[in-house]
Structures are given as C-alpha cells and as structure tokens.
Structure 1
Amino acid sequence: MVRLFFLACFKLLGWRIEGNLRSDLKKCVLIIAPHTSNWDFILGVASRSILRFKANYLIKKEVYKNNLLTWFFNYTGGIPVDRKSKKIDLVGSVVEQFEKRDSMVLTITPEGTRSYVEEWKTGFYRIALRAKVPIVVVGFDYSKKLVIFLEEFTPTGNMDEDMAHIKGLFVGVKGKHPELGVH
C-alpha cells in the first residue's frame, strides 16, 4: 500500500529512479548526496519503498524526545546516535551492528548536514572499510527529478583517492538547493 502511494507520487510529480541495489547485496553503506533539503528524507524513504529494500540511517538522539517521533524514526529505520560524545566510538559501534546482522543497508549523507560544508565527513568511508562492505553511491538530482544509483564502490583504504573518485561521481547532480551541495 505504501509502495503504491509512493509510486503514484513519483508518477504525478515526474520523478524517476535509475538503478537499484544488487539483489544479492546484503550489506552496504549507501551514501546519498547532495543533501540540501529536508525533502531528501522523504525522497529516500519513497525510493527505498518503491525499490523494495529496507535501510537504516543514523539520526541524532535529540530527536527521540517525543514518543510519536520515536515511533516514526524507529519505523523508518532510524538508529539514534550521540554525535557529540567523545566517549563513544561511533564508527566502531556501527561496525558492530554490521557484524551482528545478516543484512544491513546503512544510509548516510556524507555532508552530515543540509548546509554547505567545505569537507565531507569521513565516517561513512571508515565504516564501510572496517565493516568490509561496499559503498553504494546514490544521487538525488532535483533538476532532472532523478534518483540515480551511480556506482557500487569498494573502498581501497586510500581515503584521499577514494573520496576524490566518489565526489567526482556527483559532478552534474543538483540538489534541491544546488548552492549548498557537493562542489
């Protein structure tokens, strides 16, 4: 029912999806960029529903104060994290989740915010490398009304080269607010 709703919304609004996760891919870090709007969340939930895969995402624990929001974020795959604590090894704790589960698609926005940032956060890369899972690169292109699966990428351990390659995949992909996105 939810899938049909999102399919209808995509058709009415002129959005389309190119690509998908491999059917045999059980674990990965799925990165989405550019992340420039709250609408990206809705677009992501709709896309994964249409494509019939489940995904988790990290969300700051502060939004878990309200019971209704807690239910909603749990239902949509949210994993609350304390981003401000220096005592928590966030990468390590997420890697443990990958090790404990038979399947896990973890969605992360490399910018870590909807605002413009000079540099991407590297947690997604470090998680994928330590968990020994591929990175699936997805673009949300509002100018073309397109959700596009750009590449499945295995991190090599050379973060500088790998990050340059991944960022290069987003050339021409325009977020809802292009001035805030990948440059």
Structure 2
Amino acid sequence: MHYTIFDTPVLRTLLRWFSLIMLRLLGWRLVGDFPRDKKYVLIGAPHTSNWDFPFTLMFCFAGGAKLYWMGKHTLFSGPAGPMMRWLGGISVDRRQKNSLVEQMIEVYQRSDSLVVAVPPEGTRSRVSEWKTGFYHIACGAQVPIALGYLDFSRKQGGVMGLFQPTGDIAHDMPLIRARYRDVRGKCPYNQ
C-alpha cells in the first residue's frame, strides 16, 4: 500500500490531539477500542452524509487506528487525487465489474497488516440492501469484520466489536445489520 497520513509520526500525533479536542468540543465521545488485530475489514454504518468522512478520520486518529478506505474513482482525479491517497484512499471504479473483491483479497494476503474501511451501503443515499463486497473480502482474506459506527443522535462513535464471518452470508448478514438497528446517521431519512 502507499504512504499515508497515518504513517507521518509528528503529524499523526498532532492530529490525534486535535481530534480528541475537536470531538470533545463538539460533544462527541469515542466508545469501544479499535481492534488490536493486524488485519480486518472495518465497516462503517450508517453512511448518510459527507460528514461521515471527517468524523471517521477524527475517530481513527483519536483511537490510534491506521486505515485505508475505498472511495469513488472521481475523488481521486485531478489535484485532489494525491491528497485522497495520502488520507488512505483506494480508488474504486464502481462502473466496472473488475473483480474488486478478488483484488482486495490479494492485497490482504500480501500485507502484514491492513485495515480497509468499507461503508456497507455503498452510498450516502437510502438503500434497501447492503452491498456484500465487505463480507466476501473478509471471508476470502480470512479476516474478521470490525463493526464501526457513527451515531449522530447520541454523538458517539467507535467500534462495537469484531464479527467473524462463517461463510454463510444468509445467516450472518441479518446478525450484522441487527447490531446497527439503534444507530442513527446524520441524515436518518437516508438509512
């Protein structure tokens, strides 16, 4: 993977303190520790607003987590591209069926440590079903799924724990979604 903001020692420390102070000033609190595992898929739900990204970064800095995230390829074009990659972004072109799951599994297999954040809804808009790529990546890479969240109604965020997928998606997906039943995004009408 590429060099990110999380690899910059002085800046990482400054951003940790900045994030802790900002979250406190805004009335937010970090609940739960980020897993100590070297590899896992971090899902974040609900994803209802552009505000999810800066809050997620603040929670990651505050909690000492280093993560990568997948974003629309349009975020990585032009002058913003290098900045997005430095922030941990991995460009994804959702218009193509290019075995993204298999590519991510290979990246996990080549990496000693890797955390990739994936919004299971795949969009900020309302969806009836979650995308399943995160689940297939976790199964194929044989890594757990960390259940990350931002609850705007309670002003708290963090990780609810790890979920070890069994490979039976019909059984596991309702269990995962049930953990988010009481979590409210910034724009609940998009949930």
TM-score range, shorter chain: over 0.9
Provide the residue aligned with 1:138 in structure 2.
148
TM-score w.r.t. the length of structure 1 is 0.94
Provide the residue aligned with 1:85 in structure 2.
96
1:21 to 30, 34, 37: 34
Deviation for aligned residue 1:2: 1.2
The alignment status of 1:72 with 2:83, answered yes or no, reads yes
1:49 to 61, 74, 78: 61
Provide the residue aligned with 1:170 in structure 2.
180
1:156 to 146, 152, 166: 166
Provide the residue aligned with 2:4 in structure 1.
none
RMSD: 0.9
Provide the residue aligned with 1:8 in structure 2.
21
Deviation for aligned residue 1:71: 1.9
SS at structure 1 position matched to 2:91: strand
Cα offsets for 1:80-134 (capped at 9, x unmatched) = 1221113x11000011110111100010000000000011000000000000000
What is the identity, as a one-letter code, of the residue corresponding to 1:155? P
Runs of 4 or more consecutive aligned structure 1 residues displaced over 6 Å after TM superposition? none
Deviation for aligned residue 1:34: 0.5
Separation in structure 2 between the aligned mates of residue 106 and residue 166 of structure 1, nearest angstrom: 17
Separation in structure 2 between the aligned mates of residue 81 and residue 141 of structure 1, nearest angstrom: 26
The alignment status of 1:58 with 2:70, answered yes or no, reads yes
* Contact kept? 2:32, 2:161, Cα under 8 Å: no
Separation in structure 2 between the aligned mates of residue 42 and residue 30 of structure 1, nearest angstrom: 16
Provide the residue aligned with 2:46 in structure 1.
34
Separation in structure 2 between the aligned mates of residue 166 and residue 96 of structure 1, nearest angstrom: 24
Structure 1: segments with no counterpart, 5+ residues: none
Separation in structure 2 between the aligned mates of residue 166 and residue 50 of structure 1, nearest angstrom: 25
Separation in structure 2 between the aligned mates of residue 139 and residue 108 of structure 1, nearest angstrom: 11
Give the 3 Å change call, closer, same or farther, for CA 148–51 of structure 1 in structure 2. closer
1:125 to 128, 135, 138: 135
Separation in structure 1 between the aligned mates of residue 35 and residue 131 of structure 2, nearest angstrom: 26
